[in-house]
Structure 1
Amino acid sequence: MRIPRDLSSADLVKRLGKLGYAISRQTGSHLRLTRNEGGEHHVTIPNHDPLRIDTLAAILDSVAKHRGVSRDELLELLLG
């Protein structure tokens, strides 16, 4: 599945929230999300609309690696 090119940070935060991530803090224009299930995992997301493709790819790779799935499987979970 292709990475969406028009995904905003607010939309990504909402979708990651369904996987157990919650905003733990905000510093300037960056949001820090934390997930405690399956070991603590932190993801930093710039508060931009839309997110750059390479930035989004790095975030998705980090989340996929923590969950033990591929990026495509994670995109299916997030975007349905």
Structure 2
Amino acid sequence: MVRLPRDLSGRDLAHALRRFDYAVTRETGSHIRLTTQQGGEQHVTIPDLGILRVGTMASILADVAGHLKMDKRSVIAALFEP
């Protein structure tokens, strides 16, 4: 299984989520809001405060996986596997 990166910023995660058709819809203060229409509309808010904590990243990816009806491991592999 691919491990979650330990040095990923919120902006980097937002960029990676474009693979699943998420697009930046708003940036307010220190947060980035992404929206996708794939499988119905869903919004995800990502903090843009530097390096993301692993738990925060895991929670965001669990939300994405749940919305896309995918296994969390599959989402992580699709985003971070070389």
**TM bucket by the smaller chain?**
over 0.9
The aligned counterpart of 2:14 is 13
The percentage of counterpart residues that share the same residue type is: 46
Structure 1 segment 34-73 matched on structure 2, within 5 A: 34-73=35-74
In structure 2, stretches of 5+ residues that fail to align are: none
Q: In 1, distance between residues paired with 2:76 and 2:56?
A: 15
Cα displacement (A) at 1:33? 0.2
Give the distance between the partners of 1:48 and 1:64, measured in 2 at CA: 23
Gaps spanning 5+ residues in structure 1: where? none
| Alignment partner, residue 3 of structure 1 | 4
Shift of 1:5: 1.0
TM-score (norm 2): 0.91
Question: Aligned equivalents of 1:49 and 1:72: distance in 2?
Answer: 24
Q: Paired residues, what number?
A: 80
- Taking only aligned residues, the RMSD between alpha carbons, in angstroms, comes to 1.0
Partners in 2 of 1:60 and 1:32 — Cα distance? 14
